[in-house]
Structure 1
């Protein structure tokens, strides 16, 4: 076998049409908070001790951090235990994704993976843990797996039985109730030259609002408005998204305001394989946040769990003093700022359904057991050749206990270029309490904002 599986089982997902899959029984649900963490991870570490026991995650910020500041590094004294390179990759092959093996081999001595002590920092508010326990007892997939029912606030399936449940855990993971921040994206040329696109992001997470229920949220997961700040040629462009829970019954709603035409228009194709705006065709729309949208184009298979080296605790990349020029390098980011740790991940493979068109025929997802955040992916072309590799570099935020990305990138192995998003260095800290109201995210509100 090319890779060793920590859990050598395969759960294939077939025959979802007609009925919903069952929720877990009471005895199984009682494992949450005992041998399993409240979100469903294995509480204990591994046999060697290289993965420690989960003791609650990072619940207190460092002493040098104050509210309103960008998160500081809680582990400033940590040094790499070792560095994986193209020369020593064989020593670690069983704990690497196929995508990382390919990058180590293809990009030679410049692409390295510094591996640090594993720190299980993922933590969430106590009421999120309580909802996770409730969801385990009630949540079910809808017919064909295109939505869920009897769930709210956070991941619906803390004890997943198939690949679709794991993917829905990522899509519906808790990211706070609302959020406002500014960051940049770029698509560096092969020589490393780049131009930034700066956006203001405003999120309103209807699904995660405290006290909400499915009837209240009108089939919405979240509302998102992005306002392009720079460059001047794109400034004033507004994108508005209403992300729906069951996108087959009620597809994603999206509008785009172009400052040149001064009109707000519906964007019905902002989904699936459509090029992500300003990505130079290096990333599809459904790769934003590592994966989003309706899962109906693929058959999903849960391959099991593995212990692998994944991006984690990326406080160096998030540092307020680090600038985009410090991060961006030709062909890949500055790997000296990256941090990899050994973690247990769920591995999910998605294969394109017969008769469906998408640029990716097969995709592999590596999903963190402690947070349900997708940490890495592999994307394959129509000939089943590895085409792209994506990473999510994450941190635990302090003002709202969430574990989420600070930076994402998709590497195109053929073009030897990449798309990077989340260059928030130099901008204010994320604001998890901006005081939004749901009606601020209507099409009419976006139209009024665009005209000001």
Structure 2
């Protein structure tokens, strides 16, 4: 296999590396666990709203799809009648700096066309009651494995540390958040050129959490298959992954399929600051879904919680009548589409450990308190300068009760370019079929890739 092609396939592998840890952590106390469903929501957020009412109390979220919902047309906006409360621009940004991340402020100042339309806040997260029960039941026993090798005693919970004591526990919550028990989806990724042009690269993903299979080994956390569908020069490349909870006892298993050789090969993992596949060098492997992979090269400091303007409830962004050229403009998205609201976020500062290598010396990550998703990231270079800005345009998928990404955009301030991921406006709706465990086998990978 040519070196360049091999590197591309290896780079794809690390996109789906999820487990992490560095040192042992205290279990959630029984006292903290008993707060869930009382002053804390079942996922660990503050139940109450804020003092001035601009952030409401959590009332259970959206528990069913609104009338007229048709997945073939995108998600119906339950707040379509609402108008923006105000709009933040370069001219008035000084009034709102206390509610913004440095990266948001820089985007507003750097690009006059970048703006943020602020709408009323809605805490829409609603998970199945079974998930709330699992979070509460498993929290007291979950432990991080020393030396960055995963978690122990986690089987069904989607929030291992609902009352986090440090920054790394918050990162674990992001990694194991509810992303769907089993799904198949198509979406596009593409680097945007400095003149605004781009070529969509279509991916197919199938992912099933190990807890779905009663006949599977309990050590497997997730089964994952990814295949490139287009353009033709990369179509057919595929990756299969069996991710495990605890790598101190069993290593993850990864295979690749090369359409030129028609061979399935066992492959090593690639991660950290390796350039992300098809990103044109605008993003790193561990920036996929805002942050993924082993966190052992950084020290994670839990700065605290704050109120912040973040992208949220982005139903309009998923409209199937939109073309990608309607969404992506030169330098940034069409900012009439994203919806911004005020929410509470956890702030975690990740500093590169002495002696460790990474292109980022520091990352400041902002986690939504309800969903534990990273909603914004500011990434700094070795000189301490803000280099890249990440935006997670999240959406509540009310038909299946989970929060997902309508889009992730990584803005490279130095290159004045953007890298877009997860847009699916021109693709088929997500399917939540449970594939048999044999679908995630080497034989299936070879058969379905030909």
Tell whether the structures are fold-level matches, with TM greater than 0.5: yes
CA pair 190-68 structure 1, distance change in 2 beyond 3 A: closer
4+ residue runs of structure 1 moved beyond 6 angstroms?
A: none
Indicate conservation of the 8 Å contact 2:73/2:319, yes or no. Answer: no
**Residues 1:80 and 2:84 are matched in the alignment:** yes
Residue 259 (structure 1) shift: 2.1
| Residue 293 (structure 1) shift | 1.3
Gaps of 5+ in 2: 1-20
Aligned to 2:304: 304
CA distance in 1, matches of 2:442, 2:385: 41
Cα deviation for residue 393 of structure 1 reads: 0.9
1:176 CA displacement: 2.0
User: Quick one: which of 128, 134, 140 aligns to 2:137?
Assistant: 134
Q: Deviation of residue 308 (structure 1)?
A: 0.4
Partner of 1:245: 245
What is the root-mean-square deviation of aligned Cα atoms in Å?
1.9
Whole-Å separation in 2 of the counterparts to 1:351 and 1:146: 20
Q: What aligned pairs does 1:35-434 form with structure 2 within 5 A after superposition?
A: 35-66=39-70, 70-107=74-111, 109-144=112-147, 146-153=149-156, 154-207=158-211, 209=212, 216-218=217-219, 220-247=220-247, 250-432=250-432, 434=433
Contact 1:70–1:428 (8 Å) recurs in 2: no
Q: Which residue of 2 aligns with 1:6?
A: none
Shift of 1:251: 5.0
Determine the C-alpha separation between the residues in 1 that align with 2:428 and 2:449.
Answer: 23
CA offset at residue 123 of structure 1? 1.2
Alpha carbons 1:136, 1:159 under 8 Å: kept: no
Unaligned 5+ runs, structure 1: 1-14
Tell me if the contact between 2:44 and 2:162 (Cα under 8 Å) persists in the aligned partners.
yes
Contact 1:345 1:366 in 2 (8 A): yes
How far apart in 2 are the matches of 1:264 and 1:366?
39
* Rounded Cα–Cα distance in structure 2 between residues aligned with 1:248 and 1:414: 39
Query: Tell me, what secondary structure is at the counterpart of 1:201?
Result: strand
Q: Distance in 1 between matches of 2:221 and 2:349?
A: 24
Deviations 1:385-443 (Å, cap 9, x if unpaired)? 111011111111133110111211111000011110112002222112x1212221123
- 2-structure distance, mates of 1:402, 1:97: 25
Q: 1:61 deviation in Å?
A: 1.0
Work out whether residues 70 and 430 of structure 1, in 8 Å CA contact, stay in contact via their aligned partners in 2: no
- CA shift in 2, pair 1:110/1:248, >3 Å: farther
Q: Secondary structure at the match of 1:344?
A: strand
Where 1:159 maps in the other structure, the secondary structure is coil
How far the C-alpha of 1:249 sits from its partner, in A, is 5.7
Aligned to 1:435: 434
Give, in whole Å, the separation in 2 of the partners of 1:127 and 1:210: 17
Superposed displacement of residue 187, structure 1: 0.8
Q: Is the 8 A contact 2:70 2:76 kept in 1?
A: no
Judging changes above 3 Å, is the alpha-carbon distance between structure 1 residues 136 and 321 closer, same or farther for their aligned structure 2 residues?
Answer: same
Separation in 1 of the partners of 2:404 and 2:197? 28
- Structure 1 residues 349 and 210, CA, compared in 2 at 3 Å: closer, same or farther? farther
Distance 1:350 1:429, change over 3 A: same
Mapped to 1, the partners of 2:83 and 2:286 lie a distance apart of 35
**Are 1:450 and 2:444 an aligned pair?**
no
| Structure 1 residue 66: Cα displacement | 4.3
Looking at structure 1, the residues matched to 440 and 66 of structure 2 have their Cα atoms a distance apart, in angstroms, of 35
2:28 alignment counterpart: 24
Return the offset for 1:146. Answer: 3.6
Deviation per CA, 1:181-217, whole angstroms, max 9, x where unpaired? Answer: 111111111111110101111111225x3879xx943
TM-score with structure 2 setting the length: 0.91
Helix, strand or coil at the partner of 2:35: coil
SS in 1 for 2:186: strand
